[in-house]
A and B are shown apart, each in its own frame.
Chain A
Amino acid sequence: MTETTDRDDRVPGLLPQGLDAHLVVDRGSFRLDVTLTAAPGDVVALLGPNGAGKTTALRALAGLSSLTSGHLGLDGVRLDRTPPESRPIGVVFQDYLLFPHLTALDNVAFGPRCQGAGKAEARAQAAEWLDRMSLADHAGAKPRHLSGGQAQRVALARALAARPRLLLLDEPLAALDARTRLDVRAQLRHHLADFEAVAVLVTHDPLDAMVLADRLVVLEDGHVVQEGTPSGIARHPRTDYVARLVGLNLYRGLAEGHTVRLDAGPAITTTEQLDGPVFVAFPPSAVTLYRERPTGSSARNLWRCEVAGLETHGDQIRADLTGELSLTADLTTVAAADLDLHPGAATWATVKATQTHAYPA
């Protein structure tokens, strides 16, 4: 970036376009320390378990809580000392927070009004946004008369009508029932794809994150543990949390050729030939269970385990196993019955080398 910029308040060293943030928030024993960058048009999902700091990061971006240190730049302008009302940042709150005393139209017109538009002009803009969300028929409705999906779209329209350069969405689908969720997720994806500035959404649902976002940033305990494209993360998880999210068994170990000696536990034979610290992952469906030690099995990855728990998972049974190696295994209901699986039952688990996947740590 050069000194010759078209705006005086641009700060050298910040990305000239999009989001450039280093958020540090200390709150008692919890510390959030996250670096986030995104180009205009990007949709970034902050994914993480409860208490990971997702909402703290979002509030810090919006200016609703202040940074302990770090910086927040948007399109080359530094915003971390700017009060929330002066930041070009819109928020769709988890429970929407539509103003209950205003109609859908006036809720959406609120932003333009605050930015100085006259009443008629603001309402005209709001009507346009509602139309775009296919909500023209509900313009006069008070929020309590809107369905969950409609309220979500009004909240999105309200945030977008203020023409933000950064759109924040806090668990945008969490308040919806399963059926509405599918529809709204598809619509939201469509609207986010149309949005020309940066969108950051916070969610604990990996499906929402993968459908809506181009890039995932996984937070655990206030820190970024992994970031990348949804498919990259799904293929190469780097923490137990991410592995569980994407439904993989994940281990860390030291590779020597085709053998990976795990940090804790036995060795796993893989098809990849690697050396040094690696991750090994395999899906629960790759595991085969036996009650007796299989004879003549070609699988070299054979471990003695005990059933810790069973639960239904779709039309399958997912077994949690402990023993030589802790892993989860998927099997059909019939197979589970044939094996007479129950918590405490001893089993043998095998995985074919071809179904494991090793990658450098």
Chain B
Amino acid sequence: MTDTGTVETRPRRDRPGLRSRTVPVPLLVPALIGLAFLLLPLIALLVRAPWRSLPEQLTSPGVWEALRLSLVCATSATGLSLVVGVPLAWLLARTRFPGRGFVRALVTLPLVLPPVVGGVALLLAFGRNGVAGQWLDAWFGITLPFTTTGVVLAETFVAMPFLVISVEGTLKAADPRYEEAATTLGASRFTAFRRVTLPLIAPGIAAGAVLAWARALGEFGATITFAGNFPGRTQTMPLAVYLALQNDPAAAIALSLVLLAVSIAVLAALRDRWLTPP
């Protein structure tokens, strides 16, 4: 805040309805501490980055393999979340059935569940001896743990609730009478959903998908527990970063910078396309 700014506001002070530009110190100081706390690690990452050896670090095949795997898995997990998550959100927002509140709580549980617990639970369900996994293995010869598919499943488990919650919120805010208008024109409930509701909630779906994608990209706990850490197959960027930190900190920083760049790109995309009204 410049001096002129403060001077300008003074005569306006007694005019009601105008926001005062002075911020109370008990609010300002904790706010600045909080901001610094968020920024400092990112600045440290940039300051300590091995800029000189960076090109060399980033061109190593391991980095690209991990990045490619991360992008493929996060995108697949987002796709899977969309296919089952949007209908689930519709069910929660538009229908009444007994135990709906309970189902909703279950859907949101992975949001608060430690991801590593999610990984253990996935192993118990889809592991080779798991509740469902033993039949998948016996009947179809499908094994999920420690495969790339396993990574996708682990990421979906953790990321889908973000999409469901976001889409459900958008659906609840959308006027259900548009669906009624569509049915009076001869549209079945599914046609009404496909041709009217879906286009109306598209921004909410897109925002939810980006959230889910970002969450899937950073997934660590459930992935390492359920899918392990095999380079080229299940070693995504976060796992690669953690592993590199043990024996090659410079490589870990380089990998972290790549993830940071991806995150900033996502944030920029969100801001331009969905967060600001057209």
Q: Does A84 contact B (CB under 8 A)?
A: yes
With CB as the reference atom, state the residue of chain A lying closest to B182: A110
Residues of B within 8 Å of A87, CB to CB, are 184
Contact of B199 among A91, A101, A114, A115 (CB under 8 A): A101
Residues of A within 8 Å of B200, CB to CB, are 99-101
User: In whole Å, how far is A145's beta carbon from the nearest beta carbon of chain B?
Assistant: 14
Docked Cα-Cα span, A84 to B183, in Å, equals 6
Total number of B residues with any Cβ neighbor in A under 8 Å: 18
Docked Cα-Cα span, A114 to B196, in Å, equals 12
Residues of B within 8 Å of A162, CB to CB, are 184-186
Total number of A residues with any Cβ neighbor in B under 8 Å: 23
Residues of A within 8 Å of B184, CB to CB, are 62-64, 84-85, 87, 89-91, 159, 162
Residues of A within 8 Å of B196, CB to CB, are 99
Q: Provided the pairs A99-B196, A100-B200, A101-B200 are in contact, do residues A114 and B186 lie with their beta carbons within 8 angstroms?
A: yes
Residues of B within 8 Å of A111, CB to CB, are 185-186
Q: Does A83 contact B (CB under 8 A)?
A: yes
Residues of B within 8 Å of A89, CB to CB, are 184
Residues of A within 8 Å of B188, CB to CB, are 85
User: In whole Å, how far is A268's beta carbon from the nearest beta carbon of chain B?
Assistant: 49
Residues of A within 8 Å of B178, CB to CB, are 97, 99
Docked Cα-Cα span, A238 to B8, in Å, equals 69
Q: Does B181 contact A (CB under 8 A)?
A: yes
Residues of A within 8 Å of B181, CB to CB, are 91, 93, 97, 99
State the main secondary structure of chain B at its contact with A. helix
Contact of B186 among A99, A101, A115 (CB under 8 A): A115
Residues of A within 8 Å of B180, CB to CB, are 64, 84, 97
Docked Cα-Cα span, A312 to B139, in Å, equals 85
Docked Cα-Cα span, A111 to B175, in Å, equals 20
Q: Does B12 contact A (CB under 8 A)?
A: no
Q: Does B195 contact A (CB under 8 A)?
A: yes
Q: Could you mark each residue 83-107 of chain A with 1 if its beta carbon is under 8 Å from any beta carbon of chain B, else 0?
A: 1111101110100010111000000
Which A residues from 40 to 81 make CB contacts under 8 A with B?
A: 62-64
Residues of A within 8 Å of B20, CB to CB, are none
User: In whole Å, how far is B54's beta carbon from the nearest beta carbon of chain A?
Assistant: 46
Task: Other than A159-B185, A162-B185, give 6 A-B pairs with Cβ distance below 8 A.
Answer: A85-B189, A91-B181, A97-B177, A99-B181, A111-B185, A115-B186
23 contacts between A and B (CB under 8 A): A63-B184, A64-B183, A64-B184, A83-B183, A84-B184, A85-B183, A85-B184, A85-B185, A85-B187, A85-B188, A89-B184, A93-B177, A97-B175, A97-B178, A97-B180, A99-B181, A100-B200, A101-B199, A110-B182, A114-B187, A114-B191, A115-B186, A158-B185
